[in-house]
Amino acid sequence: MALLEVEDLTVKFYTEEGVVTAVDGLSFHIERGETFGVVGESGAGKSVTALSVLRLIEEPGRIESGTVRFDGEDLLSMSESDVRDVRGNDIAMIFQDAQTALNPVYTVGEQIAEAVRHHLDYDDTAARKRAIRLLDDVGIPEPAARYDDYPHEFSGGMQQRVVIAMALSCDPDLLIADEPTTALDVTIEAKILDRLEHLAEEYDTAIQLITHDLGVIAEMCDRVMVMYAGRAVEKATVEELYYDPKHPYTVGLMSAIPRIGDEQDRLQTIPGTMPDLVEVPSGCSFHPRCPFAEEVCTRKQPALVDPDTGDAVGLSDRAAACLAYTGDLDSELDYEVEVTGRDAPPSEPQSNSRIHAPDAEQHRADSDPLPADSDPVGSDTDLLDQDDPDEDTGGQQDG
């Protein structure tokens, strides 16, 4: 049994403009101790999915159907008081914006200690000691002194570290990180992600990581779910996703990754925008932007299937929602994946994976399986390996 099992989750918002189906029949699972990535453009339903797990959807939103089983218990059928015991204790969440997640009238240390006292039944002295240790764990300099500081006295990067410390305060089994490095510069992002990864290993915590950054996904995650317009369009391990993508939307995201040394004048993009979820296109919701779309794509909504067999899947690790795998398309998907592994000596430049945009003359060429020591994004994410925690200077570099 997986730590978290979400099945057929549907979430709708009833607005004046119409009914927004933010999450539509979503299913996935997260194993104990693993890092599970959720990626997609803004409006794909990533954050709503995370909030639904903790039952934090507010009016006019409503969880219409589905089950969310955590450690075998359905969170959607629990009483509100029981769910409050789960929040922050068994499942914790890092919200996108640290400034809005922290209460401006309480000191940062007190906000951490409050959760410790509530869930772990510590007295004031023990809770304060634990909060100071957590501030030190996430790299806050002079944590005992900073305990009594208010959020506005911290830089953006340090506020984010405080939110991470708060999320880890009760040793949760699952940490939901919703864009944990939004609006931070890349050097601070690298430090925070590196600390998050090490702390999760120390506390043996599973992570659901929501991000737009495919480089972060490659560096941190074990498995990935790609979302589009409220639905999962592809599920795969990180290696399979980067070296053998199956859905045209995933191909488009991969094609848009900038690469060091690339001499292109312009980055490749996916034409168009995410559809209005009040009026989702009929059939496959991606068909207005898909270079491989055929007439049947406007009529038939693809289900998640095994791309090798075309059979329906449930919580499977490998699946794609495209009619190309059910025999409904007249043509095949026409793209090419060019892959070189990390076989070069460390002193030589790292290699990258590339996905070429489709054209009339290309043929789809899936790559061989990823070597065990390969790096899906090569030098693009090596910054995460360069951080030295002992050189952290705190607020001076976080602003």
pLDDT confidence band for 300 (50 / 70 / 90):
very high
What is d(CA 34, CA 74) in angstroms, rounded to the nearest whole number? Answer: 21
Q: How confident is the model at residue 378 (pLDDT cuts 50, 70, 90)?
A: very low
pLDDT tens across 51-68, in order? Answer: 999 999 988 999 999 999
Q: In terms of pTM, does the model score above 0.85?
A: no
What is the C-alpha to C-alpha distance for residues 60 and 19, in angstroms, rounded to an integer?
A: 10
Closest CA to 329 of 313, 349, 307: 307
**Tokens (6 digits) for 199:** 């702390």
List the 319-320 sheet strands across, edge first: 91-94, 174-178, 206-211, 35-39, 223-228, 231-237, 319-320
Mean of the per-residue pLDDT values of the chain: 81
CB 173 within 8 A of CB 91: yes
Q: Report the distance separating Cα 224 and Cα 376, nearest Å.
A: 13
Tell me how far apart the alpha carbons of residues 370 and 337 are, in angstroms, rounded to a whole number.
12
pLDDT digits (tens, 9 = 90+) for 329-377: 888 887 877 765 554 343 333 334 444 544 433 333 443 444 444 444 4
pLDDT, one tens digit per residue, over 151-172 is 999 988 888 889 888 888 888 8
Nearest CA among 274, 162, 267 for reference residue 229: 274
Q: Domains in the chain, ordered, with CATH?
A: 1-81+205-260+268-348 (3.40.50.300)
d(CA 220, CA 35) in angstroms, rounded, equals 7
**pLDDT at residue 359, as a whole number:** 45
**Strand, helix or coil at 216?**
helix
The pLDDT score that the predictor gives to residue 13 is 95
Distance CA 165, CA 103 (A): 15
CA atoms of 197 and 338, how far apart (whole Å): 29
What is the Cα–Cα distance from 337 to 327, expressed in whole angstroms? 22
Name beta bridge partners: 38: 210, 225
pLDDT in tens, 236-257: 999 999 888 999 999 988 887 7
Mind spelling out the 3-state secondary structure of 284-315? CCCHHHCCCCCHHHHCCCCCCECCCCCCECCC
Distance CA 185, CA 150 (A): 22
Q: What is the pLDDT of residue 363?
A: 38
User: Which residues on adjacent β-strands are paired with residue 237?
Assistant: 223
